[in-house]
Homo-oligomer: A and B are copies of this chain.
Amino acid sequence: MTKIQDPMLSFEEELNMYLAGNSIDCVIFGYEHQELKILLLQWKHHPVWSLPGGFIRKDEDMNKAANRVLIERTGLKSVYLNQFRTFGSVARSELHKNAQFMRLDLFKKSEVFSAKTIAWLTKRFITTGYFALVDIEKTSPKPDFLSAKCEWKSLKDTPPLLLDHNDIVQKALEHLRIRLNYLPIGASLLPHKFTMQDLQKLYEAILQKPLERSNFQRKLLKLDFLNRHEKQMTGAANKAPYLYSFDMIKYEKLIKQGIGFSF
């Protein structure tokens, strides 16, 4: 959708390219300052936030659509997205018609969209959720032409989102926690080099419970997918920690095997 220059006219035409009834929503988890965050968009002319989402082209695989949608709406490329659940209640589209969505000046005044386009957008949609984990520092989110902002928001104080997007985030988080118990995670969330504490804090942020330091270290080192590098002088009055990086060959091998462990 980023290519649209004259929204009023061409948006309506462009919608013919898409399946009318299915959508994609992406829950992008990022990690920064020992906090789990998600990437959200804020609409132009209206303060409501929502997940980056979009539609599926008639000639496009749903999985590919998810990546395209994420790129178009946020600028994030090469993100490994996982499908986690499809949301198909009638209530979720009723929200379109009754609640915030119609109150958007954007829609009400029809300054941007034609009546036909609004009718299309407010139909019933069944949406499929995808999630991903990314290193915030490696991203530079850009809002698309529909949005005023594209920002990382702390998961702890996620604002009220459009439609049922808060529920979608919740389900994505549950899914992520289960995954953590049988797949190592982190290669895409952390900077290239990180300390063991960084990794532990990440796990704690996802699981939302404290883990025992020395046991965490032993367990992760035993899985044998971390490379140890030089020490990092932190400037703090204590012993400097080693830096680690993921050995991607061993890491991928482990993921394929599906070796499990639990915390």
Contact = CB atoms under 8 A, between A and B. Distances in A.
A63 interface: yes
Given A88-B22, A262-B260, A62 B126 contact: yes
A143 to B, nearest CB: 26
**Which size bracket describes the interface of A in this complex?**
20 to 34
A63 B91 CA distance: 12
Contact of A124 (B19, B86, B258): B19
Contact of A21 (B22, B128, B178, B260): B22
A-side interface mostly: mixed
Interface string A56-90: 10111111010000000000000000010111111
A138 B88 CA distance: 30
A63 B88 contact: yes
Contacts of A128: 86, 88, 126
A185 to B, nearest CB: 15
A62 B88 contact: yes
Contacts of A91: 61
Interface of A: 19-22, 56, 58-63, 65, 83, 85-91, 124, 126, 128, 178, 181-182, 258, 260, 262
- CB-based closest 9 A-B pairs: A62-B88, A21-B21, A86-B86, A61-B89, A86-B128, A61-B90, A22-B126, A19-B21, A260-B262
